[in-house]
Structure 1
């Protein structure tokens, strides 16, 4: 080092466990007297907490009481493996039988696992002191990310977005330098700071600022960002946290866990943290809505950004209980449940999963049966109450659950009464959050024909293959619609069969090695049709756009529809990322000012 440095000396900075900036500097000889600059970030802290969707949180087994110090083991781990694919999930869950699923994926036997994979690089405010040993640096970063809750949520689905968000919100705190905004010379002015000749460049007030990343579609749906809003947001550090939850248990419990996390963070960051912002994915939106209803929580939440939320449920939840997921996506279906038997074994005992079913606010008549000519074969269901008319129906084959699937081989069976109580919990939860949104709510949903979704569920009658018996004896459509569960053959896949049986067909003569084939004979085959509407592949448009139509007192500030993404990867879309940033700016501009601002 020279006696007359040509460039200013800047002290390296990192953040401690409380999120406060710490500067480090090695003492220099006394004859070097030029100042060391400590560049300070804003004092205000407005944490962003990401709340994942169903199956988006890592889970581990709970230690069983009375069995000594048995170690918790991962049950649902969402780390990226070979080429970014989740090999752990595939190896542990592909084609697992219903009984094993029922045993392991029980809400009372699992809890959130915070030891999932986390990033190995610094970004934004996740900065640790430099270490000569790379391993020590990685360990320090791992600790920081785990403190942020990132180890609780899916690496494959969310970490790229969380890294982008942390970097975007916390790498530069001078609003006129933010690259996401089209800031031009006419938006700026320069003023002098006393004492001395120091000059500061600032945004002029009340200037509309464009966000090119929104694209023409979203920009046309949204009012402009105003320069004052950028300046107000610039008063905060916005560290990005995550909050996983037990998605098998009721979202009521998840909401309470989120409330505890909010209180912990506000205490951690101290007097300069007055509120937090929630960013949600899918079912996480239901969790956040309920959390905002808990005593005192709405005031601690500055606003909420909801992405692809099934605001009033999704009929696909019903369909997967009936016929599984194999015909939607064979690979994902092998993990989640290829047939209705595997799905039901978990679904029926999991209040959180049941809370994804269409609610009382979903348009009536979303379930129908049509005959071979396409004419209605029964009144569309539900007429009014989906809980009594579909979900708890035991006297019709098109009811939600087959009772015998509640007791799979090698499982821990539940009773119909257990299921009824879980269904009642889902209904109570639906009624609590109906039409309720935080006063500063921003919503995006998918609307793309290339990602079709189930707006409704249609069972279609097709003539079966009758190898024996008179064709004229086929029951009519009304009779078929009135059949009970035991009167329809059902192995948890589409189609279901009315009449007939599984018959073996011998191979042709002369081919002794040919396998014996099984043919399903029937009067009727009941096929569950595929997707019938636009959306994101999971949430239909009607549920995605429901918030602004059902909200009380106009608390949904902006709601946009966008194409080009599927449900799970929605936050990987540049459009949704830019909308999230837009929403965070708007929310931060109206957040409580930090106490450091006077």
Structure 2
């Protein structure tokens, strides 16, 4: 008679650096003869790679070569600080001048920083070998997350979602036990396992399975999940990775980096990894679309989930180059650029940022000028080509940028020719990805009156204050619409002034020591109006909903609009999380089967 434990013994499991399961067990006395169970996860591997939006990747300076040169240092770090707030960005960027921004945030002087903050919590397949030394265990976990690329992307914006996704996809590998799906007793049957009396529970085939988390509205827009799809997805473990990129450089370069990451992961996981799934946020969608066009890449991507992607660009990118962000969001604007001068100093030299401008596929006429009676004061722009008609326009005040802002004080000035070349790169990139979507594409976009977006940009003429200034007649609206850059007063904020000057106001009598105040006199004040459409606060509905209208060959399988979130926090919304899970299930069901399944 053996002295065996009364409960089954299960060997603890962790995953090594290659993502393979490893079981550990300490030898027991010989009189204990019951078996030790090594519970194996699925052999198939279908990695999920998250691709962030613009400004969502950590960046560092490139190290300078030679003795005495500066070492690499963080230049854009998105770690959560005190009470989850990113104090690093505020501390390092709020007081930066346009010239300092131009020097630091240059695409050739920055690269992805892999050493951002990572979670301290083990979830899903991110579990390491048990360690008695807590410090050693924490270091091992940090190393594993960094290997996953999580240190490359914003902790504040993305880590909570990535933790949820990793845990949801890899905590349990028996489909009928997944809590996100309404699996009922009538959906199940038992199957005998030979040899012996063992039985296992399985889902019946061809049964629609509800996803309560989608809610009634989304569920009514989407085909049901079928039990066969859950079973097919159950053949995989799905480790969640992230791939940051240098968002200052062209998205074409970012796409190449993503392709390299895909190849690295497929090599790492070996023969049982045939494809990957991409989940993107905002501009990351443009990166993924270009990546799928690279030689051999479409076949290596099982499918793509796009969240709040500016599919045809966003007019807000134009507006920020003209008047900055201070009137949209004073706090974010202090970091990104409160006026057009700070934004232009960076955007003009950053092809990636310029690729967010409205493309040739965006509805024409998104830029307009109206007079003080609300009547159109010029033909709406662009008529056809935004690149020549707006972005490269040097002879009208409403062109994209002022040439003198390319050379801010204490900066490293760029020429108009360099800026024009970056616009041409943006045009070529837009034309390249126009209508191009992976054959298994799922899309969600925001549509919420609470988070209005700029569908168009409207400049409105308002009577200025002349005080003791000139008393001639006001220039008419036609004249105003044709004024050149040097004929208006523009400090990178709204409004822009036509005529007049900055004029001192005499102090009140009896107070000669009172500070001198000034007023900006003018014939006209040209105000850049606020948001005029629905969306997510950044991407308007017309751009967010464009994929299904523009996709060639019907590549977009499902596209939904969802309320209740702003642009940056879209993946924190339970509905978008559930739609992402739904999409991953649908994609996995059609993915290449792992070689082990054959």
How high is the TM-score relative to the length of structure 1?
A: 0.99
Partner in structure 2 of residue 375 of structure 1: 375
Partner in structure 2 of residue 305 of structure 1: 305
Partner in structure 2 of residue 356 of structure 1: 356
Equivalents in 1 of 2:221, 2:349: separation in Å? 41
Can you list the C-alpha shifts for 1:223-279, whole angstroms capped at 9, x where unaligned?
100000000000000000000000000000000000000000000000000000000
Task: Kindly report which structure 2 residues correspond to 1:417-432, keeping only aligned pairs within 5 A, or say none.
Answer: 417-432=417-432
2:40 pairs with 1:34: no
Task: Kindly report which structure 2 residues correspond to 1:124-273, keeping only aligned pairs within 5 A, or say none.
Answer: 124-273=124-273
TM-aligned CA deviation for residue 481 of structure 1: 0.1
Equivalents in 1 of 2:275, 2:240: separation in Å? 13
Equivalents in 2 of 1:61, 1:196: separation in Å? 63
SS in 2 for 1:494: coil
Can you list the C-alpha shifts for 1:504-562, whole angstroms capped at 9, x where unaligned?
11332344564322200000000000000000000000000000000001010000000
The answer as to whether partners of 1:122 and 1:141 remain within 8 angstroms in 2 is: yes
TM-aligned CA deviation for residue 3 of structure 1: 1.5
Equivalents in 2 of 1:437, 1:159: separation in Å? 27
Bigger Cα displacement from structure 2, 207-216 vs 64-73:
64-73
The answer as to whether partners of 2:455 and 2:540 remain within 8 angstroms in 1 is: yes
TM-aligned CA deviation for residue 470 of structure 1: 4.9
Bigger Cα displacement from structure 2, 383-392 vs 66-75:
66-75
Aligned residues: 597
Partner in structure 2 of residue 575 of structure 1: 575
SS in 2 for 1:553: helix
Equivalents in 2 of 1:113, 1:453: separation in Å? 31
Equivalents in 2 of 1:232, 1:569: separation in Å? 31
Equivalents in 1 of 2:71, 2:65: separation in Å? 12
Partner in structure 1 of residue 507 of structure 2: 507
Task: Kindly report which structure 2 residues correspond to 1:429-440, keeping only aligned pairs within 5 A, or say none.
Answer: 429-440=429-440
Equivalents in 1 of 2:188, 2:507: separation in Å? 83
Task: List gaps (5 residues or longer) in structure 2.
Answer: none
Partner in structure 2 of residue 339 of structure 1: 339
TM-aligned CA deviation for residue 64 of structure 1: 1.9
Equivalents in 2 of 1:295, 1:493: separation in Å? 45
Partner in structure 2 of residue 467 of structure 1: 467
Equivalents in 2 of 1:34, 1:194: separation in Å? 20
SS in 2 for 1:269: helix
Equivalents in 2 of 1:510, 1:249: separation in Å? 59
Partner in structure 1 of residue 405 of structure 2: 405
Equivalents in 2 of 1:232, 1:251: separation in Å? 34
Can you list the C-alpha shifts for 1:318-342, whole angstroms capped at 9, x where unaligned?
0000000000000000000000000
TM-aligned CA deviation for residue 67 of structure 1: 4.8
The answer as to whether partners of 1:60 and 1:75 remain within 8 angstroms in 2 is: yes
Equivalents in 2 of 1:510, 1:570: separation in Å? 58
TM-aligned CA deviation for residue 70 of structure 1: 3.2
Can you list the C-alpha shifts for 1:267-314, whole angstroms capped at 9, x where unaligned?
000000000000000000000000000000000000000000000000
Partner in structure 2 of residue 57 of structure 1: 57
Equivalents in 2 of 1:176, 1:21: separation in Å? 22
Equivalents in 1 of 2:468, 2:505: separation in Å? 13
Equivalents in 2 of 1:173, 1:299: separation in Å? 26
Equivalents in 2 of 1:159, 1:548: separation in Å? 29
The answer as to whether partners of 2:64 and 2:71 remain within 8 angstroms in 1 is: no
Partner in structure 2 of residue 481 of structure 1: 481
Can you list the C-alpha shifts for 1:372-399, whole angstroms capped at 9, x where unaligned?
0000000000000000000000000000
The answer as to whether partners of 1:95 and 1:337 remain within 8 angstroms in 2 is: no
The answer as to whether partners of 2:435 and 2:551 remain within 8 angstroms in 1 is: yes
Equivalents in 1 of 2:513, 2:536: separation in Å? 46
Can you list the C-alpha shifts for 1:82-121, whole angstroms capped at 9, x where unaligned?
0000000110001310000000000000000000000011
Partner in structure 1 of residue 16 of structure 2: 16
Equivalents in 1 of 2:6, 2:471: separation in Å? 97
The answer as to whether partners of 1:95 and 1:338 remain within 8 angstroms in 2 is: no
TM-aligned CA deviation for residue 52 of structure 1: 0.1
Bigger Cα displacement from structure 2, 183-192 vs 388-397:
183-192
Bigger Cα displacement from structure 2, 65-74 vs 450-459:
65-74
Question: In the superposition, relative to structure 1, how do residues 175 and 514 fare at CA in structure 2: closer, same or farther (>3 Å)?
Answer: farther
Equivalents in 1 of 2:155, 2:580: separation in Å? 19
TM-aligned CA deviation for residue 469 of structure 1: 4.2
Equivalents in 2 of 1:168, 1:75: separation in Å? 33
SS in 2 for 1:373: coil
Partner in structure 2 of residue 496 of structure 1: 496
Equivalents in 2 of 1:578, 1:512: separation in Å? 67
Equivalents in 2 of 1:359, 1:514: separation in Å? 52
Task: List gaps (5 residues or longer) in structure 1.
Answer: none
TM-aligned CA deviation for residue 18 of structure 1: 0.1
Equivalents in 1 of 2:567, 2:471: separation in Å? 45
SS in 2 for 1:114: coil
Equivalents in 1 of 2:254, 2:339: separation in Å? 28
Equivalents in 1 of 2:291, 2:67: separation in Å? 35
Equivalents in 2 of 1:69, 1:299: separation in Å? 44
The answer as to whether partners of 2:4 and 2:31 remain within 8 angstroms in 1 is: no
The answer as to whether partners of 2:469 and 2:500 remain within 8 angstroms in 1 is: no
Equivalents in 2 of 1:360, 1:329: separation in Å? 28
2:418 pairs with 1:447: no
TM-aligned CA deviation for residue 491 of structure 1: 0.2
TM-aligned CA deviation for residue 65 of structure 1: 3.2
How high is the TM-score relative to the length of structure 2?
A: 0.99
Can you list the C-alpha shifts for 1:11-41, whole angstroms capped at 9, x where unaligned?
0000000000000000001111000000000
TM-aligned CA deviation for residue 59 of structure 1: 0.2
